[in-house]
Amino acid sequence: MVNILNILRFKKKYFAFLTVVPLLAVTAMITVPCPVCNGTGVVNSLPNTEMVSILEIDTDQLLGSGIPCGAYIVYKYGVAIRLLNESPESAEGWLEIRLINTNNVDNPILDTQYVQINIPAEAVVNNEYVVSFGTVMVFQEGLEVQAEVVEGNVPDLICDGTGRISLNTWPLISGFKEHFTVVVQETQPYNPPQFIDWEEFMRGFFNQ
């Protein structure tokens, strides 16, 4: 006599197989926003800088000088910036400081420099910098210095920068979100774009 219990067990396993496999296939095809980058496709590689804001900026042009027989005019500014860090942790990163030609609406940026910041948790700090910019034109007016906190966005390796992951991987990635975020940040440390240090350039030029 055929064992009815064995038949029932076989049917349950067969039913489970026919149910689970299609479900896995479907959830692999459905995509949802990646919890690591919140669907943006990028991750801030400078932790907590998204919580830093510029409260006040004051600039003073110290010098404008040309390089003899050269094509560049160098403008030196004193830049005083008041920064607020609202994060419960310290924030370390960069400020992007730009020299702007306010008379040119289409292409106002003349030069960009970067300076480092390190702000304690939930603190306000006053930083002062001397920043030199290089241009190929002499300006008598219309110059302005602007600053912005760099968040150091890099592609999210978890979702390959698409901002989407499959539904069946969401529970794992969501559960280890902090770990995956650190992995992305550590494997892609932010460095500012290459820029000319005009102070060093001028010293080298006049020391020749």
Is residue 25 within 8 A of residue 69, CB to CB? The reply is no
Q: What pLDDT was estimated at residue 167?
A: 83
The per-residue pLDDT for 7 is: 46
User: Are 197 and 115 within 8 A, CB to CB?
Assistant: no
Per-residue CA distances from 1 to 9, 14, 33, 34 (Å): 16, 22, 55, 55
Going 118 to 129 to 137 to 199, the CA torsion angle's sign is negative
Which pLDDT tens digits describe the chain residue by residue (208 residues)? 445 545 445 455 555 545 555 555 555 577 889 999 999 999 888 888 989 999 999 999 887 776 655 577 888 999 999 999 999 999 999 999 999 999 888 889 999 999 999 999 999 999 999 999 988 877 778 899 999 999 888 899 999 999 999 888 888 898 899 888 888 888 888 888 877 777 666 665 555 5
75 in the Ramachandran plot: left (φ > 0), alpha (ψ -120 to 50) or beta? beta
Percentage helix, strand, coil for the chain under 3-state DSSP, each rounded to 5:
30, 40, 30
